[in-house]
Every structure is written in C-alpha cells, then in structure tokens.
C-alpha cells in the first residue's frame, strides 16, 4: 500500500515536470555550503574588493540600523545579469535568491563563475550596496534559473531592520503542491532567521512561489493567504519558470541590540537548543526507501514499521509548520536595550538557526567566535533514523532541518 501511494506521487510530480527521485527536500536543496559555496566565495575575494559592494559577515539574517524598510524585487538573467536601476533607486541593502541548474553549482569553480556575474551586476555602479543575505539553491530543471534581487531602502531611526530569504522546493512529496502544511513550513522557515535574533515586531512577508501551470493559481492563493496571516503582505513579482518553489523574503524591526556578541563567548558559556532537530531525515529517508525495496526491508527491520514511520513523519511536518514566534519573544526579553552594554549574566550572547546545516551550525559559531565548541549531547528527533540515513548515504547531513530548532548561547 505504501509503495502504491508513493508511485502515485511520482506520477503526479512527473506530470508536473518534476523528477521526484532527484528532488532535494527542504533546506537540503541549498547549494553545498562547505564544498561549493564557501570555497567559491573565497575565490572571489579579490574581485569583490574592486566592486562597490559590501558583503555582510555570515549571519542568519541581514542586520541594518534603521526603523523600517521598503522593498523592491528584481529578476536578473543568470548568463548576463544587469540591474540598471541601482543608481536611481539608491538602495541600502540587497537580499538575494539564486536558483542555478545543478551542473552549474556542482563545483566551487563553476559556482564562482556565476556568483562573480551577480556580484558585478550589483557592485559596478557608483552607488555602494550592502549585500546582506544570499540564499542559493539548485534546480534539476534546465531553464528554471534566475537571480532574484530584493532591494531595500532603509528608514533612518532607532533600532535595526532584519531581513532574510529562505526558499525551498518541497518538504514532503506525499503532500500536494499547495498543501497548507508545506506552505506553512516554507514561509515560517524564512521568518525563523528573524525570530532567531529576537525580531518579531512589524513583520513584512514577500512570498516567493512557483509551480507548474496547472497548479500555479492554487499555490499562489495559498501562499498569499498564509503570508498575510503572519504579518504585512508585500506583493512582488514571481519567477514564473514553471518549476516548484516555496519561500519568502521576510523582514522585521528589532528595538533591542541583536545577539551577535561572538567575541564575548568563552568557556563560561553553554548551548541550549529549543527542541530536538534532524527533521529532514524523515522525508529524505521516506523517498529513498520507496525507491529501493532492499533498503525498505532493512529500514523496517532496524528503525520502525512503515505505518509508525508515516505517523511520526506527519507529526514532524506539523511541528515544522509551526512558527517559532514564542522563541523570538523569549530571546527578545534577554537582549540589551538599544545602546545598553552587554552583560553576560543577563543577556543572550549569540543565537543561530539549526536548520539547513544541522549540527554544522555550531562549527560556524565556533569559527566566528574563534573558540572550540564541545557538544556533549546532540538531541535528535529520532537518533536511529538519522543514523540509518547517514549510514546508507541517503543525505549529506542527517541532522539537517527546515524551520528548525534555535540554538542559544548563554552564560
């Protein structure tokens, strides 16, 4: 019965032009950070120095001083990107979504070639631009590529504007394209990087969505309705490539100092995570075992029966569809007032979203703080499942998630 349902989903996706077996799920659709993206950016350091472009330090969200913002969205051609309006618009900040065909993002050299084109388009005018956040994902369909550039004009005033884009293709392929749960996971995933920093006031959401033509209007309606339920809806152009895409650019105001005191972290600090993680192991493993009967039998023998797995997978999907706004409120309460000195006894020193990179986020914080981080316990949703996914090479990181847990560094 389970195999029959899966075959039906494969048929639905194929009719829509999507090869389900080769589709990356959730945040695993991101271009490989450690083997491709970061090495590519290192290759471009000298070129960036020649441009009128400032690339922000790696952070969950772009953080700019200001009390509010206005956003404009532009789509650029991947092969010859051009943004002639920069000097007229004079934006303060850019948040970028890159979707590249998988062959163009397979190595750091290939990806650097395309990233350089985008950087030149953004940094070749007389107007200096801050590139605050870039989100890069792969497409399995040639011709579904684009650079999406969201430009922000920041209003001067007290506090900070935090902005972020997160976009995925699908979470659970057993759900419909316009499933309320899939839409909720995708939009909340974009908000999560704001919530991580305690920013939950004056939320604006500019959805990003695409779908094969028969499904487009249903996906559009669902995305717009859900985004409007979370904050102010910002209507913006869409890719319209006929490929599956769900996400958002979200921004909000923070009237406290953000938790980015990496230089204050020392041996007296601890890490607390808000809940267990490793969500994507459920969905990626589900697809994998339904394409290999031997793996399916091994899974039922070593991990759990398929009926139990499907129920647990559903509970995890519902968990991922829940916004982490309560976490944002708690973090906010332990941030310094604007201009207040950081006090390790009263304030959170740093936070990070445990989603796409999974357990590797702790490595990122360690590098930024120039410290060693020791993990005594890794709270996974299902350790046996993550181990099975890792041992069978089902996914590169079986601790990864989407709209995942939040890690808080505190005294």
Which pair of tokens denotes residue 259? 């938790």
pLDDT of residue 27: 41
Would you say how long the chain is, in residues? 411
pLDDT of residue 381: 97
pLDDT of residue 29: 43
Residue 164 — pLDDT band, cuts 50, 70, 90? very high
Q: Which is higher by pLDDT, 108 or 73? A: 73
Q: Which of 262, 254, 268 is nearest to 350 (CA)?
A: 262
Residue 28 — pLDDT band, cuts 50, 70, 90? very low
Checking if the pLDDT of 212 tops 80, the result is yes
For range 380-388, the mean pLDDT: 97
Segment among 104-108, 120-124, 138-142, 235-239 with least mean pLDDT = 104-108
For range 104-108, the mean pLDDT: 72
Strands (E), 102-200: 129-139, 146-155, 160-168
pLDDT of residue 42: 58
CATH topology of domain 26-254: 60s Ribosomal Protein L30; Chain: A; (3.30.1330)
Which pair of tokens denotes residue 286? 């589900």
pLDDT of residue 123: 84
Q: Which is higher by pLDDT, 227 or 27? A: 227
**Helices 383-391, 293-302: crossing angle, 10 deg rounding:** 150
| DSSP classification of residue 89 | H
Helix (H, G, I), strand (E, B) or coil at 7: helix
Average pLDDT, the chain: 88
pLDDT of residue 85: 79
Is the torsion defined by CA of 381, 229, 331, 265 positive or negative?
positive
Checking if the pLDDT of 35 tops 80, the result is no
For range 315-341, the mean pLDDT: 97
Checking if the pLDDT of 31 tops 70, the result is no
CATH of domain 262-410: 3.90.650
- Looking at the chain, the whole-number percentage of residues with pLDDT higher than 90 is 57
Which pLDDT tens digit goes with each residue over 337-365? 999 999 999 999 999 999 877 888 898 89
Checking if the pLDDT of 33 tops 50, the result is no
Which residue ranges make up each domain of the chain?
Answer: 26-254, 262-410
Query: 348 and 410 in contact (C-beta within 8 Å)?
Result: yes
Q: 352: which strand partners?
A: 407
Q: Residue 203's CB: how many other CB atoms inside 10 A? A: 20
Cα radius of gyration rounded to whole Å, the chain: 21
Which pLDDT tens digit goes with each residue over 227-269? 999 999 999 999 999 888 999 999 999 999 999 999 999 988 9
Sorted by sequence, the CB contacts under 8 Å of residue 167 that are 6+ apart come out as 97, 99, 135, 137, 186, 190, 208, 245, 246, 247, 248
Q: Residue 393's CB: how many other CB atoms inside 10 A? A: 9
Q: Which is higher by pLDDT, 75 or 4? A: 75
Is the torsion defined by CA of 354, 358, 360, 364 positive or negative?
negative
List C-alpha distances in Å: 78 to 40, 98, 103, 123.
17, 9, 14, 16
Place of tokens 């601890």: 270
pTM exceeds cut of 0.85: yes
Which pLDDT tens digit goes with each residue over 256-313? 999 999 999 998 899 999 999 999 999 999 988 988 899 999 999 999 999 999 999 9
Is the torsion defined by CA of 86, 88, 92, 96 positive or negative?
negative
pLDDT of residue 278: 94
Q: 277: which strand partners?
A: 380
pLDDT of residue 64: 96
pLDDT of residue 273: 95
Most confident residue range from 135-149, 179-193, 358-372: 179-193
Give one word for 120, left, alpha or beta, with left for phi > 0 and alpha for psi -120 to 50: alpha
């Amino acid at each position: 019965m389970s195999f029959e349902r899966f075959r039906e989903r494969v048929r639905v996706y194929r009719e829509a032009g999507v090869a389900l077996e080769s589709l990356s799920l959730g945040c695993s659709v991101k271009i490989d950070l450690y083997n491709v993206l970061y090495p590519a950016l290192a290759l471009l350091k000298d070129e960036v120095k020649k441009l009128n472009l400032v690339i922000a330090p790696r952070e969950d969200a772009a953080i700019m001083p200001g009390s509010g913002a206005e956003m404009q969205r532009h789509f650029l051609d991947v092969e010859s990107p051009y943004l002639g309006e920069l000097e007229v618009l004079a934006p303060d900040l850019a948040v970028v979504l890159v979707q590249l065909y998988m062959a163009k993002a397979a190595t750091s050299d290939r990806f650097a070639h395309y990233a350089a084109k985008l950087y030149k388009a953004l940094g070749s005018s007389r107007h200096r631009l801050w590139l605050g956040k870039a989100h890069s994902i792969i497409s399995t369909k040639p011709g579904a590529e684009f650079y999406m550039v969201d430009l922000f004009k920041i209003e001067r005033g007290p506090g900070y504007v935090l902005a972020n884009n997160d976009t995925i293709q699908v979470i659970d392929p057993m759900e419909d394209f316009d499933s309320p749960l899939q839409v909720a996971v995708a939009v909340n995933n974009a908000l999560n990087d704001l919530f991580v920093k305690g920013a939950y006031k004056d939320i604006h959401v500019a959805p990003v969505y695409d779908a094969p033509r028969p499904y487009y209007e249903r996906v559009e309606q669902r995305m717009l309705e859900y985004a409007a339920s979370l904050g102010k809806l910002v209507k913006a152009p869409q890719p319209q490539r006929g490929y599956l895409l769900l996400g958002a650019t979200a921004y909000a105001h923070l009237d406290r100092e953000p938790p980015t005191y990496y230089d204050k972290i020392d041996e007296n600090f601890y890490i607390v995570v808000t809940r267990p993680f490793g969500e994507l192991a459920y969905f990626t493993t589900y697809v994998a075992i339904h394409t290999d009967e031997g793996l399916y039998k091994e899974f039922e023998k070593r991990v759990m029966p398929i009926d139990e797995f499907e129920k647990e997978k559903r509970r995890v999907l519902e968990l991922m569809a829940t916004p982490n706004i309560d976490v944002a409120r708690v973090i906010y309460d332990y941030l310094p007032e604007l201009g207040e000195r950081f006090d390790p006894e009263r304030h959170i020193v740093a936070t990070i979203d445990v989603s796409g990179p999974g357990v590797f986020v702790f490595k990122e914080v360690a590098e930024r703080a120039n410290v060693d981080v020791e993990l005594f316990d890794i709270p996974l949703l299902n350790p046996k499942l993550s181990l099975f996914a890792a041992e069978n090479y089902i996914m590169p990181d079986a601790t990864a998630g989407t709209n995942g847990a939040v890690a808080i560094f505190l005294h």
